[in-house]
Structure 1
Amino acid sequence: MILWIKNARIATMDEDIPEASSAVVNGKYFAYVGDEAGAKQYVESQPDRDVRELDAGQRRIIPGFNDSHMHYLHYVKTKIHVDLTGTTSMRELIDRMREGLRHYDPKSGLWFVGEGWNHDFFEDENRFPTRRDLDLISTEHPIMVQRACGHIGCLNSKALELFDMTTKEAVEYSKYADVDETGEMTGVIKESLFDYFKSKMPAPSIEALVEMMIDYQSDLFESGITSVQSDEYNYTPEGTFFELQDRLRREAEQKRLRLRISGQALYFKPDALEEAFANGYDHTYGNPTLHISSTKLLVDGSLGARTALMRQPYADDPETSGLAMFTQEELDELVMISHRNNTPAVIHAIGDKAIEMCLNAIERARKTMPYLTPRHGIVHCQVTDMDLIQRFKELDVVAYIQPVFIDYDMNIIYDRVGRELAETSYAWKAYKDLGIHHPFGTDCPVEPFDPFKGIYCAVTRKGFKSDQPYVPGQALSVEEAVYAYTAEGAYASGHECIKGKIKEGFLADFAVLDKDLFSISPEEILETSVDLTYVDGECVFDRAAAIDR
């Protein structure tokens, strides 16, 4: 089967042929990219005359978007949770949960969960919900509400009763549980303890989760996303992450799973990481649709919750400098294990101290085994100075960036870290100018996966309701932002020779847009939609057909 794309404006992301008007897909690969005369000549030279034509009507075509860091399974599970996004008060949070309780089925065996709230937006009480707040919803059913950042969870009394705090792991992580003046748990749990809790919380079966991941891939195709790099570890029933990978791999081979997923496999302990590598779950595992790209590690928390690890105390809360998930020695060991297995370590770090720890660990691994060159990276890398950014370049570290974060963070960064450090943070242009690889993503469901929101923030350095830009000198062009969302993402997952560009020999993953991103105003970027999305040269989303249905 041949697909001839005609009458198009193709932004290829290929520096050799940056613009094209026509392309030909043969099988699942681009076989020709250039002008219509060349495309016609190629088609006529082929013995296979089963040719379909796609008249783009002068619409803009780009490679499929690649979200370089998200939590796809977590996004899928939000579909069965209460949406608390946009909650403006503690009272509203309680009311929304009470309304959601009407649809909760205790016989499912699942807990009653809500997520997406941010206490910074509460107009009545600017604090985390406690067990006493959540007990107003129910004392009969276990309840958990998760902050938008994903690093804080709040439990009601029934949930605390069911959560076994006597296990080895719970005792080890007990410092991440808030207690009141009497020493009683308030219901607020953070970071490693919250991650451990999520691994223990009842979840749908693996079979059900796989079906949900297949069903909801269409949501991403609607936004032109054809690839994601996703951390699913905390969102599977305990001990079943690799079973999930095996099942998804089989579904990909049967072409039920079309969304390309590169797994960022999360670990907390060296023995678990060693065991995974011993069983073949390294960066060589998988197929072109489903594979494991990296080892995921968590070093600190979030800026909003003041758990991001800072060198100095927070400017607006001098009692804390954030939370460290590992000592330097513990982090060094985990990075060394991943490096020894030639698998990238992709490390969550937001605060400048956490980023420094990551760079130190990567430097030690590279010096110890210079003959191995896995593409280590730091996810978020938000609070930086120029010396830290220069070390990214020196150590060849990938900077995984989420431009949409500034919609919220630009409103708190000055208060959290002070003016001097705030103005060297979220320094996207500095990464680009130094030649540091900087793939874009969203951390969905922390933020929506809509790539046009990320492009808008990267280009304007503004939030969606802000008039003034934040450090406008760090803005990128539209072309640079799209490149970061496509070709840079492919580099980060190790696929730069097979996807991320519209180029001969590359997988035919692409999106047809209803507006030309490269000629419209920044405000119109937010109004842009995807008309068609293709994976392997086959249409997986058609807006017109969806509207007709």
Structure 2
Amino acid sequence: MMRMGRVAVAVSGLALLAGQMAAQAGAAPTLLVNALIHTEDTAHPTASALAWDESGILLAVGETADLTRRYPGAVTVDAGGAPVVPGLIDAHGHVQEEGAALLTADLSGSTSKAEILTRLKAQAAKLPPGDWLQGWGWDQNRWPDKAFPTAADLDAAFPDRPVRLERIDGHAVWVNSAALRIMAARPKAKSLDGTWQPQGGRIVRQGKKATGVLIDNAMDLVAEALPPRTDAQIRQNYTLAFAEMVSLGLTGTHEPGIDLQSFRVLQDMAAKGEVPVRLYTMADGDHEALAWLCTQNGGYTDPSGRVRMRAVKLYIDGALGSRGARLLRPYSDDPGNSGIYVTNPADYPRIVAKAKGCHLQVATHAIGDGGNRLVLDTYAKVLGADVKSDHRWRVEHAQILTLDDIPRFAQLGVIASMQPTHATSDMPWAEKRLGHDRLAGAYAWQSLRRTGARLALGSDFPVEKVNPMLGLYAAVTRQDLAGQPPGGWLPDQNLTREEALAGFTRDAAYAGFMEGEVGALKPGLRADFVILSGDPLTVPPRQIADIKPLSTWVDGKKVYEAGK
């Protein structure tokens, strides 16, 4: 793994040399001038101008007057004094699922079942008769009774059309009776009613009867009944998501857990110039994609450099909102429940060891303190004497930690891949789930940083909004958009503006082994940057959330311009 890091730096040096030779040979570079540039280069944190060659490699970063003299024949882009930051990287975003969500009923923010039915009826009117009606984003914590829904809540409006609705966290689905009938009729289907439960999942029942809510691995029972996605649908999903991402200033995303079919579509899109951002993808568990990745000698990068895979995404537990996150002690508001191990703890070390043997990065979803402890224990055991290697293994979310486990991230060289808006979304009900004492290690960004751990920040879209400015705002304030609670929720864990911006730039790049290419603006790196309507490091805190990209650039090419 150390060898891979040195190669990345060497490639950047060669790219810089090639760019300088091209400039000397007469190829006209491009200049961005009159900008307020936050470079994320600690040696030279601010500048007013950038110069890059036709391949998108930065030749120089400095002041407008100096670079204008050095490159007299350059094509010039005048920023008009606007702030500029390196291209923003979301370290955990489900790109294909974001595109799919844009094509289904949006249930996010709904405050009652009646409101959900209204939105579903509008979506159903757009569909052919008999097609599955799908939606995404419901959250029972927003409803008056805060209880899980049932199939009966949907049946009067949709007695015959199958309905599948995904919870906001992606860890539970709600279906109607028509869907339950289709599921039960499948060959070799397990009985939904009774006492059987799938490994790593839960069928919610009243007595022995399935209610219509399925959690974590139980969701597979619904997925197996759906028509499979076609390559054309996958391509459409990515295309929609890419357009949204660049419009919000994202030049890269780490996509956790995709199958081989989706990766093949991405390879084809990249070959045709249809991928405007950088995707650092992760194979979905111990399946076909991981088997293929193990043949790639430590990872794959397509010729364009836009699509990569060198990591595997695993799950150890579920989500806090659906009470699937694995806790060391039972939930405070559900005393008989300690959550779920989505992956059997007996199988998990074998899969981690397999990934290590393939020289891959391991990234594991862990939310509860019990899930996080099992992941850290397993990483320590499997890494063994290699714990000091440049493995950069990750924990995705790392939301609830014991105080004893917080220092272990830095000790093991494990990256905490965290999502600031999860804290502000969960804060109205997190204490009810956990009790007060467990909040000491909840969403503990500063506690992790103080021990030396790296934080790579993201959003977990479509669970949260794609907009990275919402993530920066949440990281700095730990408040909702109405400014509540005053002073922020557990404010000792607030990040500074500089720490938050680093989490979406250079630290996210590091988490994807890409710090030799992106994440900062300095000679030899790629000309990925965003021109913004406001300065996230100086505007009043609430205004951070309102900052918009004026334009987004990847490899020195404009991939988005506001109003066009």
TM-score by length of structure 2 reads 0.89
- Report the counterpart of residue 236 of structure 2 in structure 1: 211
What RMSD, in angstroms, separates the aligned Cα atoms of the two structures?
2.2
Alignment of 1:245-324 (within 5 A): 245-267=263-285, 269=286, 272=288, 275-280=291-296, 283-287=299-303, 288-324=305-341
SS in structure 2 of the partner of residue 173 of structure 1: coil
1:223 and 2:241 matched: no
**Superposed displacement of residue 207, structure 1:** 2.1
Task: Read off the aligned partner of 1:226 and give its amino acid letter.
Answer: T
Shift of the 77–418 alpha-carbon distance from structure 1 to 2, 3 Å rule, reads: same
- CA distance in structure 2 between the partners assigned to 1:168 and 1:219 by the alignment: 40
Report matched runs for 1:422-501 at 5 Å: 422-465=439-482, 466-468=484-486, 469-501=488-520
Structure 1 segment 114-263 matched on structure 2, within 5 A: 114-123=135-144, 125-163=145-183, 164=186, 166-167=188-189, 173=198, 176-181=202-207, 183-195=208-220, 197-198=222-223, 201-231=226-256, 233=258, 241-263=259-281
> How far, CA to CA, are the matches of 2:92 and 2:177 in structure 1?
34
Q: How many residues align?
A: 527
- Counterpart of 2:41, as a letter, is D
Distance 1:197 1:334, change over 3 A: farther
The CA deviation string for residues 397-424 of structure 1, in whole angstroms up to 9 with x for no partner, is 0100100112221112221112121132
Supply the AA of the counterpart residue of 1:471: L
Q: Does 1:17 align with 2:44?
A: yes
Q: Deviation of residue 470 (structure 1)? A: 1.2
Answer whether contact 1:511 1:533 (CA < 8 A) is retained: yes
How big is the shift at 1:254? 2.6
Q: Structure 1 residue 232: deviation in Å? A: 5.2
- The CA distance in 2 between the partners of 1:519 and 1:130, in whole Å, is 48
Aligned twin of 2:108:
85
Change (3 A) 1:324 1:176: same
Name the aligned partner's letter for residue 268 of structure 2.
Answer: R
CA distance in 1, matches of 2:91, 2:310: 11
Taking the aligned partners of 1:179 and 1:317, their CA distance within structure 2 comes to 15
Amino acid at match of 2:105: V
Q: For the Cα contact (< 8 Å) 1:4–1:23, is it kept in 2? A: yes
Distance in 1 (alpha carbons) for counterparts of 2:354 and 2:92? 22
The residue type equivalent to 2:141 in the other structure is D
Structure 1 residues 483 and 369 mapped into 2: Cα distance closer, same or farther (>3 Å)? closer
Unmatched segments (≥5 aa) in structure 1? 234-240
Task: Output the amino acid matched with 2:502.
Answer: Y
Residues 78-106 of structure 1 show CA distances to partners (whole Å, capped at 9, x for unaligned) of 12211111111122222221232111224
Contact 1:286 1:292 (8 Å CA) reproduced: no
Partner Cα separation in structure 2 for residue 196 and residue 73 of structure 1: 21
Distance 1:203 1:524 in 2: 43
Which letter does structure 2 place at the counterpart of 1:519? T
**Kindly tell me: are residues 371 and 488 of structure 1, through their superposed partners in 2, closer, same or farther at Cα, counting changes over 3 Å?**
closer
Q: Could you say if the C-alpha distance between residues 133 and 322 of structure 1 is closer, same or farther in structure 2, counting changes exceeding 3 Å?
A: same
Q: Specify the alignment match of 1:540 in structure 2.
A: 559
1:296-375 to 2 correspondence within 5 Å?
Answer: 296-367=313-384, 373-375=390-392
Asked if structure 1 preserves the Cα contact closer than 8 Å seen for 2:413 and 2:453, the reply is yes
Moved more, 429-438 or 70-79: 429-438
Residue among 63, 66, 76 paired with 1:38? 66
Q: Distance in 2 between matches of 1:106 and 1:393?
A: 55
SS in 2 for 1:328: coil
Query: Does the 8 Å contact 1:299/1:347 carry over to 2?
Result: yes
Task: Give the direction of change, closer, same or farther, for the CA distance of 1:368–1:177 in structure 2 (3 Å limit).
Answer: farther
Deviations 1:115-154 (A, max 9, x none): 111001112x422222211212212211111110110101
2:9 aligns with: none
Distance 2:171 2:369 in 1: 18
Structure 1 residues 126 and 413: CA distance shift in structure 2, 3 A: closer
Is 2:19 the partner of 1:2? no
- Identity level (%): 26
Opposite residue 99 of structure 1, the aligned amino acid is: A
Q: Which amino acid aligns with 1:425?
A: A
**Contact in 2 for aligned 1:398/1:437 (Cα 8 Å):** yes
- Decide whether the 8 Å contact of 1:111 with 1:202 is kept in 2: no
Where does 1:88-103 land on structure 2 (aligned, <5 Å)?
88-103=111-126
Distance 1:539 1:341, change over 3 A: same
Cα 1:495–1:353 shift into 2, 3 Å: same
CA contact (8 A) 1:94 1:136 kept: no
In 1, the alpha carbon distance for the partners of 2:445 and 2:127 equals: 43
Q: 1:172: Cα distance to partner? A: 7.2
In 2, Cα distance between equivalents of 1:347 and 1:209: 24
Task: Tell me the secondary structure at the aligned position of residue 70 of structure 1.
Answer: coil
Shift of 1:272: 4.7
Residues 18-54 of structure 1: per-residue CA shift (max 9 Å, x gap): 001111011211110011233124314xxxx4x3211
For residue 480 of structure 1, what is the amino acid of its counterpart? Answer: E
Q: 1:245 to 1:42 in 2, by over 3 A?
A: farther
SS at match of 2:41: coil
Flag the 1:438–1:473 CA change in 2: closer, same or farther, 3 A. Answer: same
Query: Which of 540, 544, 549 lines up with 1:525 in the alignment?
Result: 544
Counterpart Cα distance in 2 of 1:370 and 1:119: 42
CA distance in 2, matches of 1:393, 1:117: 36
**Deviation of the 1:368 alpha carbon:** 6.2
Per-residue deviation, 1:277 = 3.6
1:165 positional shift: 7.5
Amino acid at match of 2:524: G
- The equivalent of 1:383 in structure 2 is 400
* 12-21 or 195-204, which deviates more: 195-204
CA contact (8 A) 1:389 1:431 kept: yes
Match of 1:236 in 2: none
Q: Match for 1:397 among 414, 417, 428?
A: 414
1:496 to partner: Cα distance: 0.8
SS of aligned partner of 2:310: strand
8 Å Cα contact 1:339/1:372 also seen in 2: no
- 1:467 and 1:189 map into 2 onto residues whose CA distance is 33
Q: Per the alignment, do residues 254 and 379 of structure 1 end up closer, same or farther by CA in structure 2, a change over 3 Å counting?
A: same
- Contact map agreement 1:81 1:113 (CA 8 A) in 2: yes
CA contact (8 A) 1:74 1:232 kept: no
Q: 1:29 to 1:273 in 2, by over 3 A?
A: closer
Task: Tell me the residue number matched to 1:54.
Answer: 77
Aligned to 1:417: 434
Q: Separation in 1 of the partners of 2:43 and 2:290?
A: 42
- Which letter maps to 2:236? E
SS in 1 for 2:404: helix
- Residue equivalent to 1:238: none
